[in-house]
Amino acid sequence: MRILLAEDDRHLGEGLSLGLKQLGHTVDWVLDGVAAEQALSTENLDALILDIGLPGQDGLKVLRKLRNSGEDLPVLVLTARDTVENRIEGLDLGADDYVVKPFDLLEINARLRAITRRREGRAAPVIKYADLELDPAARCLTKGGEEIKLGANEFTVLEYLLTHQGRILSRQSLEESLYGWDEGVESNAVEVYIHHLRKKLGKDLIRTVRGIGYTIQKLAHS
């Protein structure tokens, strides 16, 4: 999952960014509302973690502008303002969920999974496709009931393709799901991960659309 973290507390931001990366996410971190707004307008993201008390432009204003633009990006709001009025205001402006500081990393991760499932139109936590079952929470994949070992980036690529079934995803969009701003993109990395996935799961699962990208066909019952 490619996440934008907008948090001005450096200690908290560093800890949350590192923790989410260790859980398998790609995280880009900004320290103020202006930088958050710019990143939202230019980056391909799966979720936003948004602190209310940002300098430059507060989180509620960032959220208001995001929703007024018609963007349905899942938003998890962080705040130290533990009042009902603040929570209501954020939710009414379009936040998908709310967490009051201090919080637990695993709870943040679970809430991120929940709000992104809703955007994808899924209720079940496990993604099922033919004889495959992918569990994002456990970072586990089974095929016909047997566990298939995947590397971290292989898992991320497969999850991204399965959650965008029927869409042709460019190499660039897959790279963006794997690498944040501060990480160098490895040459031909996507092609290597696709090759490994085909060896483990069969050559027909992931289709190459020449000159455009990769896709997993949407099943009628998915």
Residue 107 lies in a domain: yes
Residue 66 lies in a domain: yes
pLDDT on residue 178? 86
> What integer is the mean pLDDT of 7-23?
95
Number of domains in the chain: 2
Does residue 105 share a domain with residue 50? yes
Residue 220 lies in a domain: no
Is residue 15 pLDDT above 80, yes or no?
A: yes
Does residue 116 share a domain with residue 36? yes
Residue 222 lies in a domain: no
Query: Among residues of the chain, what percentage have pLDDT more than 70?
Result: 96
Does residue 15 share a domain with residue 110? yes
Tokens of 72: 């349905």
User: Residue 131: which pLDDT band, with cuts at 50, 70 and 90?
Assistant: very high
Residue 133 identity: E
Q: What is the CATH number of the domain that holds 190?
A: 1.10.10.10
Is residue 221 pLDDT above 80, yes or no?
A: no
Alpha helices per DSSP H over the chain:
10-22, 33-42, 59-68, 84-92, 105-120, 152-162, 171-178, 189-201
Q: What burial class does residue 106 get, using C-beta atoms within 10 Å of its C-beta: 0-12 exposed, 13-18 middle, 19+ buried?
A: exposed
Is residue 202 pLDDT above 70, yes or no?
A: yes
Is residue 102 pLDDT above 90, yes or no?
A: no
Does residue 107 share a domain with residue 141? no
pLDDT on residue 85? 80
Contact 66, 76 (CB under 8 A): no
Q: What is the CATH number of the domain that holds 77?
A: 3.40.50.2300
> What integer is the mean pLDDT of 163-186?
83
Hunting for tokens 């908290």 — which residue is that? Answer: 12
Task: Give Cβ neighbours of residue 174 (< 8 Å, ≥ 6 apart).
Answer: 157, 160, 161, 190, 213, 214
Does residue 30 share a domain with residue 116? yes
Does residue 26 share a domain with residue 96? yes
Question: Pick from 100, 120, 140: which residue ends a domain?
Answer: 120
Does residue 57 share a domain with residue 26? yes
User: Residue 222: which pLDDT band, with cuts at 50, 70 and 90?
Assistant: very low
Residue 23 lies in a domain: yes
Tokens of 206: 């992931």
Query: Among residues of the chain, what percentage have pLDDT more than 90?
Result: 72
User: Residue 109: which pLDDT band, with cuts at 50, 70 and 90?
Assistant: very high
Does residue 186 share a domain with residue 115? no
pLDDT by residue (tens digit) across 33-92? 999 999 999 888 999 999 988 999 999 999 999 999 999 999 999 988 667 787 788 889
| Mean per-residue pLDDT over the chain, rounded | 91
pLDDT on residue 167? 92
> Distance of alpha carbon 105 from its chain centroid, rounded?
15
Domain that holds residue 82: 2-120
